[in-house]
Amino acid sequence: MHRIIAIAQQLSKEGKTPNTALIKARLPKNIALPLIIEGLRLWRDDPYQEIHLEKFNTVPPDTSKKNLDALIKMQIDEKLAPLYTQIKALQQRIILLEESH
């Protein structure tokens, strides 16, 4: 919730009126709309509340580019693994189908 409030504060400092669409665009895709609405409501109740943004950093400040690249590669590999498995299974089915005809 604090992250949503912090984004609303940042938007306000940029001269924009915070709304659900602008906040959602700056959040990860898996954040539910009711949470965004609740965070926006809390920000409107107290737009100047103190939120410490540094606790929302997902990468520690001392992380080197090499470590960050390795982390990104690992995440990509995790996402692609099921696709590689499906491709191999489909290739095997094609071979079986070709052999049966």
Position 80 pLDDT exceeds 50: yes
User: Which pLDDT band, with edges at 50, 70 and 90, does 72 fall under?
Assistant: confident
Which one has a higher pLDDT value, 66 or 23?
A: 23
Euclidean distance between the first and the last CA atom of the chain, given in angstroms as a whole number: 60
CA distance 39 to 20: 9
27-38 tens-digit pLDDT: 887 888 899 999
Q: Do the Cβ atoms of 27 and 3 come closer than 8 Å? A: yes
Contacts of 39 (CB under 8 A, 6+ apart): 1, 3, 4, 5, 8, 23
Residue ranges of domains in the chain: 1-58, 60-101
CA distance 15 to 80: 40
* DSSP letter, residue 60: -
Average pLDDT in the chain: 83
Query: Is the pTM value of this prediction over 0.85?
Result: no
